[in-house]
A and B are shown apart, each in its own frame.
Chain A
Amino acid sequence: MGILDSKVPLGPLADKWTKHKNEINLVNPANKRNIDVIVVGTGLAGGSAAATLAELGYNVKTFCYQDSPRRAHSIAAQGGINAAKNYQGDGDSNYRLFYDTIKGGDYRSREGNVYRLAEVSSNIIDQCVAQGVPFAREYGGLLDNRSFGGVLVSRTFYAKGQTGQQLLLGAYAAMNRQINRGKIKAYNRHEMLDLVLVDGKARGIIARDLVSGEIQRHSAHAVVLASGGYGNVFFLSTNAMGSNVMAAWRAHRRGAFFANPCFTQIHPTCIPVSGDHQSKLTLMSESLRNDGRIWVPAKMEDAVAIREGKLKPTQIKEEDRDYYLERRYPAFGNLVPRDVASRAAKERCDAGFGVNKTGEAVYLDFSAAIMRYGKEKALTSGIKDPSDDTVRKLGEEVVEAKYGNLFQMYEKIVDENPYKTPMMIYPAVHYTMGGLWVDYNLQTTIPGCYAAGEANFSDHGANRLGASALMQGLADGYFVLPYTIGDYLSDDIRTGPISTESPEFEHAEKEVRERIEKLMSGKGKNSVDYYHKKLGKIMWNKCGMARNAEGLQEAIKEISELRKDFWENVKVPGESKSMNQELEKAGRVADFLELGELFAKDALHRQESCGGHFREEYQTPEGEALRDDENFKYVAAWEYKGEPKDAELHKEELVYENIELKTRSYK
């Protein structure tokens, strides 16, 4: 097993988690009162973990950079959450959810973790309903489901197009209950700037109060990092403006291995970039692909005419449209997994069929769905021989009820009515499957330092299926971590409070102060955003949807140079002893400038195409990804060794005992 022990319990797949829970150590309730846990990040994973740990009796401190836990970016998840409830009776099961997730992840995730995820998924729905999450319901009063990409069953639970919001508010409410009981102390508008290790164990953090600028020491018996993903390394992404890798990267620098950084999900349905001023990208939920058909003009001259504004999409005849996903993948059609849909869009646009000014957009068309729903509605409302206009009107009402908020969002941004003219979409960075390496207990390679949710690498392999991020975040926080952390903390019942006066805290704080001083003293000429945008361009062009060795090598060099320039020439105005958003950004970008390089290095070393990682050198003649299971069926976990390009690779071989490795096909 070497240095990386995944600690997946032995025994049959379906029994592993139960067996593990029965065998691990517990902490008795009286002792829990003497144990402190820090949770960094208050999204679905952090919020749910904090609430559950506090409820179990631990003293919890939570940290988030937002002004309230309710604003964590989990809130922006739209479409839904998967669970193997099989309420629709369409053949779903824990095994099928497990299978779909492993296959969707292109066979780069750990069987034991994924099965556990599927196993607890049903429980999440039960839990959330008990907490008052208003999931969509049928007229009979029971829960409704919808379908998502890459699967053949309907297992996605949803609350309009705001599922993430409702689940997060559920976790936030659970946290509030514990805050009210005094079991959670919430440090909002605080940012973790370093992890503190004492005797090789994670024992606290250094944090900055973002309002006063005060540097604080916080100690605990264990630290949970649930700080989300690092998609903002691309500058433009669907992440929130503040989403960052700082907590995870600081832990990495202190010894936590960083796994599969190059596995990044590019989401196929985002609103295209409109200009250089663009600060972030907006996602249009994958659920839209249930009803929307994706196409580009089949004829080059039509595409050119559309780009020049001489032709409208609605003027293009049915036979002159190329529904390329339905053409290439008849079995899954518009509901192929995200990586496949994104690459197919890029392929069409690269071939010159893109439909907006920049040539980087495809259509997502609801006219067929509107007419279909309209006919159905006319029939059920008893309208005989309805006119086309009536059918369209009825259909638009049905579509509005399903996706109204998304359509409104689109219209506000693009200033076009998506009921009348097809939406324009293009892929954008959305989620990062890579993250801190964790074992079955969600512990990183630093004892006492745990990672949950998007911050860890564990469950989605090389590509995540839609509606699975919410599932993983809550599974980790509500049902996994609260058990597994007890196993570790059972050794700490006699430790007593951790002092913040130790040399280790002293040293960590000193380093943090020096770093801030260095950022503030850069007498340069460029703003933080200048560097962030430059980094984003390198990442998107060379580490984006398609990568090759040459580009990746260039990226490593360019990022390293950009980082050097950053530290010499960045300009951070104001002072560090007050609120200073530029300083906050500077610290985050500094870490992205290191992570980006490791990202490129990881992508360069993985000489295969799998999931979100597509290497141009490794593809079939039809342009499909070519995986190399013989040489790359492992998790690449990187150990920090100074410069990111010097990081040392450790491999965790992936063992598939319950699933047969196949070429992923959605044809």
Chain B
Amino acid sequence: MNLNLKVWRQNDAHAKGKMVDYSISGIDGDMSFLEMLDILNENLINEGKEPVEFDHDCREGICGSCSLQINGEPHGPDKFITTCQLHMRKFKDGDTIVIEPFRATAFPVIKDLVVDRSSFDRIQQAGGYISVNTSGNTVDANAIPVQKEAADTAMDAATCIGCGACVAACKNASAMLFTSAKVSQFALLPQGQVEATERVKNMVRQMDLEGFGNCTNTGACEVECPKGISLENIARMNREYLKANLKG
């Protein structure tokens, strides 16, 4: 199929970017979206132009590197997938596809479609862990029984890949789903409850410092999350946060 692409091009963090039009042909429905961009880049290189930079790595939907706002939606029109798992069979011959970077003040553009998501790392660094030493001097794994349901719910929250689609989709660029996924994972496990109070306070503080917006419960994040992380996590974090602050 033949497609018209409108791609955001921006030389570096300080440059002013703009949308640039490209047309591309010979695209097969079995190709992934990123393989389509590979072909665009191969064409550009052969024409002596600079290829479009975009983040990607594992190309199987788990590393969270790939991003892209495709036709106004993070990771494109399909659901429960990342851009690397989006296949061209979702588009029709002659379609125009608008490709932009994830937009948020806390995700500044580095170049073209590449954005800086280190704000996510800093939120995790503020408290997204259980403070145990890693030397292995701990109790036997089965000495801490965990209710299966709690373990499963914790696992569901823990599947977050940190791609930033929640922020990109949210009209307020809020990072609540991302932050709450980690808070929830630990809040649900007995191992994590020991330092739950400090964790939620520190992570929320960092989240606010990074300049993410406020959650207005639109639910866009949940719909666009490639891993289907539930809004319940946000409620849980709100609860944990209030509990933590009321306790002092």
Contact = CB atoms under 8 A, between A and B. Distances in A.
A–B contact, 8 Å CB criterion (strictly below): yes
Nearest to A68: B121
A123 interface: yes
Contact of A132 (B28, B62, B63, B185): B185
Contacts of B55: 67
Contact of B46 (A51, A124, A527): A527
Contacts of A162: 62, 159
Contact of B85 (A52, A126, A159, A413): A413
B170 to A, nearest CB: 20
Contacts of B11: 578
Interface stretch (B31-39, B92-100, B236-244): B31-39
A539 B111 CA distance: 34
A207 to B, nearest CB: 17
A579 B31 contact: no
A141 B148 contact: yes
A53 to B, nearest CB: 10
Interface in A317-338: none
Nearest to A408: B80
Contact of B130 (A120, A130, A188, A579): A130
Contact of A141 (B129, B147, B155): B147
Which of A134, A140, A275 has its CB near the most chain B CB atoms (within 10 A)?
A134
A252 interface: no
Contacts of A278: 35
Contact of A135 (B64, B124, B134, B151): B151
B62 A582 contact: no
A76 B57 CA distance: 11
Interface of B is mostly: loop
Given A162-B159, A174-B129, A70 B64 contact: yes
Given A241-B57, A277-B28, A579-B53, A172 B87 contact: no
Contact of A582 (B45, B85, B159): B45
Contacts of B186: 132
Contacts of A425: none
B140 A126 contact: yes
A571 to B, nearest CB: 6
Interface in A410-424: 412-413, 415
A179 B12 CA distance: 27
Of B50, B60, B64, most buried by chain A (CB within 10 Å of CB) is B60
B154 interface: yes
A463 interface: no
Contact of A120 (B56, B63, B136, B151): B136
Interface string B62-84: 11110000000000001011000
B159 to A, nearest CB: 6
B57 A71 contact: yes
B38 A240 contact: no
A22 to B, nearest CB: 16
Interface string B130-160: 1111111011111011111001101100110
Interface string A196-223: 0000000000000001000000000000
Contacts of B146: 137, 141
B162 A68 contact: yes
A55 B129 contact: no
Contacts of A413: 32, 85, 87
B120 interface: yes
B139 A130 contact: yes
Given A85-B141, A173-B130, A479 B61 contact: no
Contacts of B208: none
A143 B141 contact: yes
Contact of A283 (B60, B121, B162): B60
B134 A174 contact: yes
> Counting chain B CB atoms within 10 Å of each CB, which of A138, A482, A581 scores highest?
A581
A569 to B, nearest CB: 13
A423 to B, nearest CB: 15
Contacts of B135: 52, 55-56, 478-479, 482
Interface residues of A, number: 84
A90 B63 CA distance: 35
B38 A131 contact: no
Nearest to B162: A70
Contacts of B132: 127, 130-131
A275 B31 contact: yes
Contacts of B126: 180
Contacts of B127: 180
A71 B64 CA distance: 7
A527 B42 CA distance: 7
Nearest to A479: B136
A269 interface: no
B124 A240 contact: no
B138 A166 contact: no
B78 to A, nearest CB: 8
B232 interface: no
Contacts of A87: 142
Contacts of A211: 110-111
A155 B232 CA distance: 34
B11 to A, nearest CB: 8
Interface in B1-32: 11-12, 28, 30-32
Given A415-B89, A482-B135, A573-B49, A67 B118 contact: yes
A177 interface: yes
A130 B138 contact: yes
A147 B133 CA distance: 30
Contacts of B220: none
Given A142-B145, A275-B30, A581-B53, A75 B63 contact: yes
B211 interface: no
A541 B148 CA distance: 47
B53 A277 contact: no
A183 B192 CA distance: 23
Contact of B189 (A70, A134, A139, A578): A134
B125 interface: yes
A282 interface: yes
B61 A409 contact: yes
A66 B58 CA distance: 11
B109 to A, nearest CB: 11
A126 B124 CA distance: 23
A176 B128 CA distance: 8
Contacts of B161: 75, 165
A177 B131 contact: yes
A282 B38 CA distance: 17
A386 interface: no
A183 to B, nearest CB: 12
Contacts of A69: 121
Contacts of A188: 118, 121
Given A73-B63, A240-B57, A67 B31 contact: no
10 contacts: A67-B65, A71-B63, A71-B64, A130-B139, A134-B154, A136-B151, A173-B129, A241-B59, A409-B60, A529-B38
Given A87-B142, A131-B130, A282-B60, 18 more contacts: A48-B134, A70-B124, A71-B63, A76-B58, A132-B129, A132-B154, A169-B158, A173-B124, A211-B110, A241-B56, A275-B28, A277-B30, A279-B38, A412-B81, A415-B87, A479-B135, A573-B44, A579-B12
Interface of A: 48, 51-52, 55-56, 66-73, 75-76, 85, 87, 120, 123-132, 134-143, 159-160, 162, 165-166, 169, 172-174, 176-177, 179-180, 186, 188, 211, 238, 240-242, 274-275, 277-280, 282-283, 408-409, 412-413, 415, 478-479, 482, 527, 529, 571, 573-574, 578-582
